[in-house]
Structure 1
Amino acid sequence: MNLTREQALTEAVLAAAKARRLAEYAEGAAHSTDPNHYIKVTRFAEAGALWADTSRTYATLAQALPEAADDDTTEA
């Protein structure tokens, strides 16, 4: 699979959104009075950290990839 800059940026945004949701879950579980929810805090936080790392990786890849040539501006 050849990854384009646009695809890498899209993946970075999707991964960042997932990381945010997991962070919100972790926060909710941390504030819960239910001990079963409190146990999940670490799992949510760790998963969120992995998705944040994934987002940063895709963003770094996007930065390194060349911009797609616009079909109207390419020379024949």
Structure 2
Amino acid sequence: MTKLETAHGGVSTGTEGLETTAALSAVLYSWQQRLKSVRDECGNLEAPLRLVAKDQGEFEKYTMGKFTQVMPPKSQDKGGR
């Protein structure tokens, strides 16, 4: 947001009344609103995504535990054929 505002800074100086200046201002406002919406959406998704990651990690541990129960033990024999 800061870079966007900085890039548009000074555009209207000495160009008041030109259609281009009004269009650039409208574009700036539009992008500011879009970026705020994205920021808010990301903020709303943070907690559910963290919960999913936690649940996924716990499920993976559980699943690996089940596999180790049915897997034969690794042979200690290091000899060849």
User: What TM-score comes out, normalization by structure 2 length?
Assistant: 0.47
| CA radius of gyration, larger in | 2
